[in-house]
Amino acid sequence: MKKIITLVALACLSLQGIAQNEVTINADQAKHQINKHIYGHFAEHLGACIYGGLYVGESNTKIPHVNGVRKDVIEALKKMKIPNLRWPGGCFADTYHWKDGIGPKAQRPSIVNAWWGGVTEDNSFGTHDFLNMCKELGTEPYLAGNVGSGTVKELADWVQYVNHNGVSPMANLRKENGAEKAWGVKYWGVGNEAWGCGGNMRAEYYANIYRQYATFMTNWDNDSKLFRIASGANSNDFNWTEVLMRDIPHNMLEGIALHHYSVIDWGKKGPAATFTEEQYFKTMQQALFMDELIQKHTDIMDKYDPKKKVALVVDEWGGWYEVEPNTNPGFLYQQNTMRDAILAGATLNIFHKHAERVRMANLAQVVNVLQAVVLTNGEKMILTPTYHVLEMYNVHQDATNLPIEIKTNSYTYGTEKLPAVSVSASKDKAGVVHISLTNVDINKAQEVSINLKGIAGKSVTGRVLTSAKVQDHNTFDQPEKVKPTVFSGATLTGSTLKVKLPATSVVVLELK
Ligand code: AHR
């Protein structure tokens, strides 16, 4: 009888348009830290990411700046808490010769940016500019070395230039260029997409090349022991991970990368803002595939590295759509909507779940390119829905992941289904629990009943990012159409938390 009454009640709720979901948070089983570095970003010499986006130069600009870097962008990124920034590419990295970007700016050579729009690159933003900008942002630099068209000596010299504090040819050159103290860069990529734009190599060949390059990357400074990241697999190329884990000795490999973009179809990516529900659904299929991808790459890594010493570094992820009309196709400038907010929330929840192996990640890219957190137009700057999600979620940085069990509804499109709700939770150093939830379903609100095991919360507060339509976004004329507001849809009774998630929403709750 009781069962029948419950079923009738559930049916009534779903007739009212509220779907039911059940979650258990097992705080008593918490083990792994969510490394803050999974909240990393990526800045490539591509379109208006560097020039105009981050860097406006030191003269001839009305835009307020610190050493040529926009003050508005610095402030926004600091507020979002950006733990690391990858530079100078991407594909550009394997064409970049770092010595072109040091010394007096007027004497730096110009090159052609062959990958991205064939534009002139005057090298006015180089190593000093990037590393000083990172200091200003309070973020750790992640330098991507040129393996595809560079040399072992060139990369070894770059390491010496930025990390050696004694007397050496490269340290002396750095001092001549005005930097007395080395920056102590820890994170280094050994090439990028070696299977593609980084040299079209086979996995076995790259593994050998990696061994050679990594050998000459010297630890000049014990405080910033190098963290070397091998160019990793393209999405579901599991053989790439297998070969690298097998053929590279693990004492010369701290991380192995993975790139996965949420693309509907590389030949027909669909518009960034005026997409259909079908296109939204397909993007989310690709985004949620990240969970399976990470699991399968992890299983391979576990075979060779059961103690999980080598990190999986998802150093390029995000949504990739058609460029905005009338913009240079080589600049990858796209709008950013609630679709991107949901994609970001769900992806970060997946990273939290895999916190033990995924210890670093980089959203592509930080300003004006692909799934950007900031868009600029001359003097104007706007924050995108993705920015707001990363800012709301930053409470999880370095907190302990709390394992989740979830029974979720389906979001159905035609004959296909996706889990409607995605959840993750963590406990920070002060003992505060944060729960983040995304409602992938753009048509239905979801009621989520959360059983809090091992959590003694007395009160709940929260913030929500939502909008009437999944296509909604901010523009330079309407910069605050999508922004977080106070969430009042959560009630706590004993150890049960009931949450009413609006359709198309991302929520972060705080339990105290
Ligand atoms: O992020 C844009 C490009 O995507 C990067 O340069 C490359 O690594 C990837 O293919």
Q: How far does residue 191's CA lie from ligand 1's centre (Å)?
A: 12
CATH number at residue 286: 3.20.20.80
Q: Is 6 a domain residue?
A: no
Over residues 303-310, the mean pLDDT reads: 98
Mutate to test the pocket of ligand 1, among 44, 142, 234 (most ligand atoms within 8 A of CB): 44
Q: How far does residue 379's CA lie from ligand 1's centre (Å)?
A: 27
Return the pLDDT at 443.
Answer: 97
Q: Is 3 a domain residue?
A: no
Q: How far does residue 91's CA lie from ligand 1's centre (Å)?
A: 6
**For the chain, what's the residue count?**
512
> Which atom of ligand 1 is the closest one to the Cα of 42?
1
Task: Cite the beta strand spans of 27-167 per DSSP E.
Answer: 40-42, 65-66, 69-70, 84-87, 111-113, 119-121, 140-145
Q: Is 1 a domain residue?
A: no
Protein residue closest via CA to atom 9 of ligand 1: 90
335-371 pLDDT, tens digit each? 999 999 999 999 999 999 999 999 999 999 999 999 9
400-423 pLDDT, tens digit each? 999 999 999 999 999 999 999 999
Return the pLDDT at 60.
Answer: 77
Instruction: Provide DSSP, 377-416.
Output: ETTEEEE-HHHHHHHHHGGGTTPEEE-EEEE--EEEETTE
> In this model, does residue 510 exceed pLDDT 50?
yes
> Which atom of ligand 1 is the closest one to the Cα of 91?
6
> Could you tell me if 476 and 381 lie in one domain?
no
> In this model, does residue 8 exceed pLDDT 60?
no
Return the pLDDT at 59.
Answer: 84
Q: Cis peptide leading into 104, omega within 30 of 0?
A: no
> Could you tell me if 363 and 409 lie in one domain?
no
> Could you tell me if 199 and 327 lie in one domain?
yes
Going by C-alpha positions, the residue among 88, 5, 8, 13 that lies closest to residue 44 is 88
Q: Is 13 a domain residue?
A: no
Mutate to test the pocket of ligand 1, among 49, 50, 91 (most ligand atoms within 8 A of CB): 91
Residue 180 appears among annotated catalytic residues = no
Q: How far does residue 366's CA lie from ligand 1's centre (Å)?
A: 13
Protein residue closest via CA to atom 3 of ligand 1: 90
Decide if 445 contacts 17 (C-beta within 8 A).
yes
> Which atom of ligand 1 is the closest one to the Cα of 192?
8
Over residues 449-470, the mean pLDDT reads: 96
Going by C-alpha positions, the residue among 55, 69, 117 that lies closest to residue 92 is 117
Decide if 213 contacts 201 (C-beta within 8 A).
no
**Of the residues 366, 397, 428, the one at which a domain ends:** 397
Q: Is 211 helix (H, G, I), strand (E, B) or coil?
A: helix
The active-site residue out of 121, 140, 193, 254 is 193
Distances (CA, A) of 398 to 43, 52, 82, 300: 23, 32, 13, 26
Confidence band for 308, pLDDT divided at 50, 70 and 90? very high
Return the pLDDT at 6.
Answer: 42
Protein residue closest via CA to atom 7 of ligand 1: 90
> Could you tell me if 353 and 456 lie in one domain?
no
> Could you tell me if 76 and 131 lie in one domain?
yes
> Residues lining ligand 1, judged by CB closer than 6 Å?
44, 89-91, 192-193, 316, 364-365, 370
> In this model, does residue 12 exceed pLDDT 60?
no
CA dihedral of residues 500, 501, 507, 510 (deg, nearest 10): 10
Over residues 190-200, the mean pLDDT reads: 98
Q: Is 14 helix (H, G, I), strand (E, B) or coil?
A: helix
How far is Cα 105 from Cα 162, in angstroms, rounded to an integer? 18
Return the pLDDT at 1.
Answer: 44
Residue 316 appears among annotated catalytic residues = yes
The active-site residue out of 44, 140, 316, 447 is 316
Q: Is 498 a domain residue?
A: yes
CATH number at residue 497: 2.60.40.1180
**Of the residues 339, 366, 397, the one at which a domain ends:** 397
Return the pLDDT at 3.
Answer: 45
Residue type, 17: G
Q: Is 54 a domain residue?
A: yes
Mutate to test the pocket of ligand 1, among 50, 258, 259, 365 (most ligand atoms within 8 A of CB): 259
Instruction: Provide DSSP, 220-281.
Output: --GGG--EEEEEEEETT-HHHHHHHHHHS-GGG-SEEEEEEEE-S-TT----SSS--HHHHH
> In this model, does residue 430 exceed pLDDT 80?
yes
**Of the residues 376, 397, 418, the one at which a domain ends:** 397
79-109 pLDDT, tens digit each? 999 999 999 999 999 999 999 999 999 999 9
> Which atom of ligand 1 is the closest one to the Cα of 44?
6
Return the pLDDT at 287.
Answer: 98
Over residues 312-329, the mean pLDDT reads: 98
Over residues 447-466, the mean pLDDT reads: 96
Q: How far does residue 261's CA lie from ligand 1's centre (Å)?
A: 9
388-400 pLDDT, tens digit each? 999 999 999 999 9
Reported as half-sphere exposure (CB side, CA atoms, 13 A), residue 292 has a value of 8
Q: How far does residue 197's CA lie from ligand 1's centre (Å)?
A: 8
Residue-range definition of the domain harbouring residue 497: 20-29+403-511
> Which atom of ligand 1 is the closest one to the Cα of 364?
1
What's the mean per-residue pLDDT of the chain?
95
Protein residue closest via CA to atom 6 of ligand 1: 90
Residue type, 363: L
Over residues 42-63, the mean pLDDT reads: 95
Mutate to test the pocket of ligand 1, among 193, 258, 317 (most ligand atoms within 8 A of CB): 193
> In this model, does residue 463 exceed pLDDT 60?
yes
Q: How far does residue 365's CA lie from ligand 1's centre (Å)?
A: 9
> Which atom of ligand 1 is the closest one to the Cα of 370?
1
CA angle 42, 44, 47 (to 5 degrees): 125
> Could you tell me if 366 and 471 lie in one domain?
no
Q: Is 4 a domain residue?
A: no
Protein residue closest via CA to atom 5 of ligand 1: 90
> Could you tell me if 114 and 198 lie in one domain?
yes
Q: How many domains does the chain have?
A: 2
> Could you tell me if 387 and 438 lie in one domain?
no
Q: Is 15 a domain residue?
A: no
Over residues 409-438, the mean pLDDT reads: 97
Going by C-alpha positions, the residue among 319, 361, 324, 368 that lies closest to residue 340 is 319
> Could you tell me if 292 and 416 lie in one domain?
no
> In this model, does residue 7 exceed pLDDT 60?
no
Task: Cite the beta strand spans of 294-357 per DSSP E.
Answer: 311-319
Protein residue closest via CA to atom 2 of ligand 1: 90
> Could you tell me if 364 and 347 lie in one domain?
yes
| 166 class by beta-carbon count within 10 Å (0-12 exposed, 13-18 middle, 19+ buried) | exposed
> Could you tell me if 500 and 373 lie in one domain?
no
Q: How far does residue 399's CA lie from ligand 1's centre (Å)?
A: 30
Helix (H) or strand (E) holding 209, with range, is helix 203-215
Q: How far does residue 176's CA lie from ligand 1's centre (Å)?
A: 34
Strands 505-511 and 460-466: antiparallel
> Which atom of ligand 1 is the closest one to the Cα of 316?
1
114-169 pLDDT, tens digit each? 999 999 999 999 999 999 999 999 999 999 999 999 999 999 999 999 999 999 99
Q: Would you state the structure tokens that stand for residue 434, as one six-digit string? A: 């944060």
> Which atom of ligand 1 is the closest one to the Cα of 261?
4
Mutate to test the pocket of ligand 1, among 192, 260, 331, 371 (most ligand atoms within 8 A of CB): 192
Return the pLDDT at 17.
Answer: 55
Over residues 438-442, the mean pLDDT reads: 98
> In this model, does residue 208 exceed pLDDT 90?
yes
How far is Cα 152 from Cα 147, in angstroms, rounded to an integer? 8
Confidence band for 457, pLDDT divided at 50, 70 and 90? confident
> Could you tell me if 118 and 68 lie in one domain?
yes
Return the pLDDT at 105.
Answer: 96
